[in-house]
Structure 1
Amino acid sequence: RRCPPQSPNCVDGASELSRRDFMKQSAATAAAIAAGVAAWNGPGTKIVRAGASDGTDTAAILNYNSDMEYRRCGKTNLLVSAVCLGGHWKRVVNVIGGKEPAGWMTMDIDRDDFQKNRDEVVSRCIDRGINYIDACCREEILAYSRALRGRRDKMYFGYSWHIRESRFPEWRSAAKLKEGLDAGMREAGLDYVDLWRISLLVDSHQHTTAEIEAAIEALDWAKKTGRARFGGVSSHDRPHLKWILDNYGEHIDVILTPYTAKTTMVTDESGLWAAIKKHDIGWFGIKPFAGNSVFKGDSSPDSPFFEEDNRIARLTLRYILCNPAITAPIPGLITPQQVDNAALAVKERRVLDLQEQADLQEAIDRAWATLPPKYAWLRQWEYV
């Protein structure tokens, strides 16, 4: 086994690519990616388009809606909606009122109006055919476990109780990871999870090989014992994540990585997709809206930028979905209307026209120029 890369900024094939203007390249890039993915004759490209006019048997698709597109999630063989629900609820106080919490993990999830909001958002997701929720901290797991009571059969549940996982030194052994999973599932009242995706360090190259192997051992155990149907990891460290897949890909079913409107996929062997393809990995994209930086408004229903921000959200999702290799972007959504808007993006024409490209370019340039320090690492994900 070769040593993992020691820096998330190490040079690889992506850094040698010409940094051409986004507006000139986006349509060509989308076509090239689609051609590259199509050239791979493996099963990972399966997409059930809205309407399923190709005669696909949709009976096996969880919470199927003919207006939604579904994509095969790697070796899990699950057909997952082309847009899913990310766990974060940033800016939700702009909808339900109250003071902005210090962090998303400090939200008072016992507020009746908060839980009502989550229930309504999940209900609208179900109405629109969205069939996966990703929850990545205690508060999200508890809030969405409550929202899914009585209708767990409508959505797949992704789980990461991150403060009891590999980001924290005391939870990095296989024994502690197993203990953390059992404790979290017990507190949330969960008999099983569809996906346990362990949160690695943001810069996961800081893990030792033994720590990565402990996470792999815990994932294998969870699947063998019926606690998790599938296993995966999340990381913001692209070179190291590729190393993990190159060395342990047979144990990993799904990964979560950043994927924004600034992201372009590298289709040669230097890119992350080469490892995703080789090991048939499902791929969820986090931070599609760059931590809300692509928007001018505050996400409130009475924002003067309401219509413009809704359009930018749809353009972003359409851009991401031009890449058939990604399973789904998973934006955090805070109102039923935002769910409707995301579902509409799936139905709209996929490839952006020149004016749409220019408008999205302006939004992402503004976002990149104003990224808060905590999201500066998104710039490392312009190429994957």
Structure 2
Amino acid sequence: MCLRRPAFALTAIICLGCAAPVWAQTGLCAGLGDGGQWMGQGQAGSDIASAAASLDVSVASTAGARAVGLFSLGTAMQVRVEAAPTTADGDTIIELFDADGRLLVIDDDSGGGVSSRAELALEPGSYCLAVMGFGGEAVRAEMRVSRLEMPALTAGLAGGFGDWQGGAPFVGIDPCLADTPAVTLRAGPIDAELDKGVSMANSVEAAPYYRFSLAAPQALSIRATNEQADPYIYLFDAAGVLLAENDDADSLDSRIDILQPLAAGDYCVGMRALSDPGLPIRLTISARGLQEAAAAAYATAEIAPPLDGSWPVEDLGVLTTTSTREWQVPGDQAQWFVFESPDAGLVLITADEISNSDPMLEVFDAQGNWLGSNDDANGSLDAELALPVQAGRYIVALLQFGSDQQGSVRLALTRYVPATP
């Protein structure tokens, strides 16, 4: 697809991959699938339910970005998704999104070693399997989607697949469903106890799942502590959809900080112990420390701040052609901007050094979903990111690579729209 700036701005035309629809505005997986590659023989051959063999693709992601493979499913079934690095220094992380952009699973090392793997039940539809390097590094990898009877790409974790409670495995544990045996943390909603914290200790052998309820939207910190057991925790919603997972946030202890409030409803924490499942692990759910955790995450652009005025975000307004700002960027504090795209197209975001700077970019949608990042572009220390967009608001973080850099940066956003035939 060719794209151009609006005619009232410039008549120069930019063509990005006109021979192949690299920037096709399909909107699949909330836009994540734009520029993705159909696994199998094109879209028609991407249905793993009817495929004669697994769907494989070789990909390469750049630093701070995902490589995306697309596949479909014609019949509800258990599906295996995997990625394995093809270079000695690679370390993959996979994410699976449904057609609406909902994150279904994220995994780092469940394929064994530094490979990634997950097995889960999927409904008919289209899906996006994304891979990136650990820590946002570039990675070259093989990705595979397969049915469970097909050969796997990775070895999997010892005891992590195929023998957990005799059921279908899911990233090392089964999803927590309505009929899953679980310990109830409290008989009713835990909202009133979040300030002091709700806590319980058991071994994973005795209690691999815990249920709790919220009466109103709440931001939460979920912690599992006992370094000798080495806990790994998962947060599921009432339907068994994986919302978050963590291993080794605090040394060998685990922590999930939910800074965007969870909706009122029922939730479940699943747990496994990577060292000794017979040792007691203390699970604590609280609101303590969330303000400090949020401030630290916003400062480093790990997550996007809410657009409710509680955190400073410079509003660039509706982006019609080009918007430029010169900004002093301290080395320890990301500077946040929001802009609105009136319709689908492509936005080119650049951050150029003016003085004492090595700029970096992180971009999110208005719901806080991470869309991409860039550090050094075009052989320089400047940053550049081409972002396919739909109509809506987008959040941009501008930050320095090092804390000693305190200089000025020129931030520019230029909007392109699909060229008319």
Q: TM-score under structure 2 normalisation?
A: 0.26
When Rg is computed on C-alpha atoms for both structures, the one with the higher figure is 2
Q: Which has the higher strand share?
A: 2
> Highest relative contact order (Cα 8 Å, sep 6+), 1 or 2?
1
